[in-house]
A = this chain, B = another copy of it.
């Protein structure tokens, strides 16, 4: 076969694995900052330190790169929600969830923005992934409903509770430019994060305890 389209059936060489990672890292940077449409293959190739045809030797299309990133991200993105333990103490489980989500916004802002970009544009490329997300949420909502029934947490709408946790935590990644513009040089990065964590704890704990 004359054209062994790199990422075909099975991983092959050392170089392939390395370069594919380099490309994905570069693409994450570019997609997060410019969106899918705004990103060009040339930009990604530049960021990855290779030529455009060379990049296209490893991934067949721009969309293929995006697809891999989205799949990876959504998976790790939902880990904190999966980690909520039915047998744990409700309020401390929720507190941990918020803290984990906030840590992800701090540590993986590009992943958050890439995802936000996709949703904002109407999620044209991730319909089925959204279905997986719905299934997981539905499952966890049942847990919250049980806790509410048992009087272990306040009687609120669990769907909207999840939305509000997503919104408040991801805000610090997705709207970082705005947050920085408003806070100015008031606080350094880490202090800012701790302020946010403390505030969200206060808000949600007293908002959700029975």
Docked Cα-Cα span, A175 to B113, in Å, equals 12
Which of B119, B175, B199, B207 meets A175, CB within 8 Å? B119
* Chain A, interface SS category: helix
Docked Cα-Cα span, A14 to B192, in Å, equals 51
Q: Are B123 and A120 in contact (CB under 8 A)?
A: no
Q: Are B207 and A203 in contact (CB under 8 A)?
A: yes
Measured between beta carbons, the chain B residues less than 8 angstroms from A182 are 133-134, 137, 159, 162-163
Which of B37, B163, B186 meets A38, CB within 8 Å? B37
* Chain B min CB distance to A119 (Å): 5
Confirm or deny: A166 has a beta carbon within 8 angstroms of a beta carbon on chain B. Answer: yes
* Chain B min CB distance to A29 (Å): 12
Measured between beta carbons, the chain B residues less than 8 angstroms from A183 are 159
Question: How many copies altogether?
Answer: 2
Interface residues on A, range: 35 or more
Docked Cα-Cα span, A123 to B181, in Å, equals 10
The residue in chain B whose Cβ has the minimal distance to the Cβ of A170 is: B167
Measured between beta carbons, the chain B residues less than 8 angstroms from A120 are 35, 113, 116-117, 120, 174-175
The residue in chain B whose Cβ has the minimal distance to the Cβ of A197 is: B160
Confirm or deny: A202 has a beta carbon within 8 angstroms of a beta carbon on chain B. Answer: yes
Measured between beta carbons, the chain B residues less than 8 angstroms from A162 are 182
18 contacts between A and B (CB under 8 A): A33-B122, A34-B37, A35-B121, A116-B116, A116-B174, A119-B175, A122-B177, A134-B184, A159-B182, A160-B199, A161-B203, A162-B182, A163-B171, A163-B172, A166-B175, A167-B167, A167-B171, A168-B168
Closest 4 CB pairs of A and B: A37-B38, A167-B171, A160-B199, A203-B207
